[in-house]
Amino acid sequence: MLLLLPPSEGKSVPDDGAPVDLSALSSPSLTRHRKAVLRALVAASRRRDALDVLGVSSGLADEVARNVSLPTAPAAPAAQVYSGVLYAAAGLADLPPAAAARAEESVRIVSALWGAVSPADRIPAYRLSMGTRLPPLGALAPTWRPHLAAALDARAAGDVVIDCRSAPYAAAWKVPADAEHVAVRVLRELDGRRSVVSHNAKHTRGVLTGHLLTRTEPVHSGEELLKAAYELVGSELLDATLLPGARGASTLELVVS
């Protein structure tokens, strides 16, 4: 399986440690573009209008200022740096050794700055979203698309891709046709009616992620994914359904109360 996660907006800032080594990150074919995006982000964060360029509020000024020092800032495993709702629910930073090894092989976090990283890749905390138009590169998703295709297409071929990305990050890489693509959607059931949710969706995708990494066997198909999700029914979920879609894609619907 190839499990795709979005980054979290919330990040833990490492207290110490060596800075990021771009050449040591997974998917080394992304190194050149990672350098280009990093340079552009540092330059943009030095500008007087940096908050406007990066599309953030004044409350995030300190995080933008910290971008200037990213090349020398302390780095830590991505599983520790990303600290939002999904990551807390998944427990990526506290997995037992076998599950951590599975995560390093099977999980890729799609990032506006790094392209895609594994939970074990050491990165600093940063502020950059995929929806940003970053001078001089422009909109980030299209700039990453060919690089991520070169890095991930072969890895995905013949496997099941479990897609927990939000729309801006999904735009950065299209799952190839020779992979089974399953998008994960979360619905809330209230008074017999089901509706799409956002905050609870992050938590539920995190729960599913942790379950897939810690169960005895990895999944190799959409049907096996549905079986794994159904193991959570009665505790975390009310129901799980696999809905077929066009061109081999499907959607795993997870229903919560």
pLDDT score of 196: 83
Parallel, antiparallel or unpaired: strands 107-111 and 2-5: parallel
User: In three state form, how does the secondary structure of 21-58 look?
Assistant: CHHHCCCHHHHHHHHHHHHHHHHHHHCCCHHHHHCCCH
- CB-based contacts of 142: which residues, under 8 Å, 6+ apart? 171
pLDDT score of 32: 98
pLDDT score of 189: 86
What tokens does 207 get? 């729960």
Tell me the C-alpha to C-alpha distance, in Å, between residue 20 and each of 34, 61, 80, 236. 11, 22, 14, 36
Taking only the tens place, the pLDDT of each residue in 226-257 is 999 999 999 999 999 999 987 779 999 999 98
Tell me the C-alpha to C-alpha distance, in Å, between residue 193 and each of 124, 215, 230, 255. 42, 31, 20, 11
Contact 222, 250 (CB under 8 A): yes
Q: Distance between CA atoms of 93 and 182, rounded to whole angstroms?
A: 25
Which residue has 């980054």 as its token pair? 7
Parallel, antiparallel or unpaired: strands 122-123 and 76-77: antiparallel
pLDDT score of 190: 81
Tell me the C-alpha to C-alpha distance, in Å, between residue 253 and each of 5, 128, 136, 242. 16, 29, 39, 6
Taking only the tens place, the pLDDT of each residue in 154-195 is 999 999 999 999 999 999 999 999 999 999 999 998 877 888
Q: Which stretches in the chain have pLDDT values below 50?
A: none
pLDDT score of 104: 97
What tokens does 16 get? 């110490």
Residue 253: CB atoms within 10 A of its CB come to 19
Q: Kindly report the pTM of this predicted structure.
A: 0.95
Parallel, antiparallel or unpaired: strands 138-139 and 115-117: unpaired
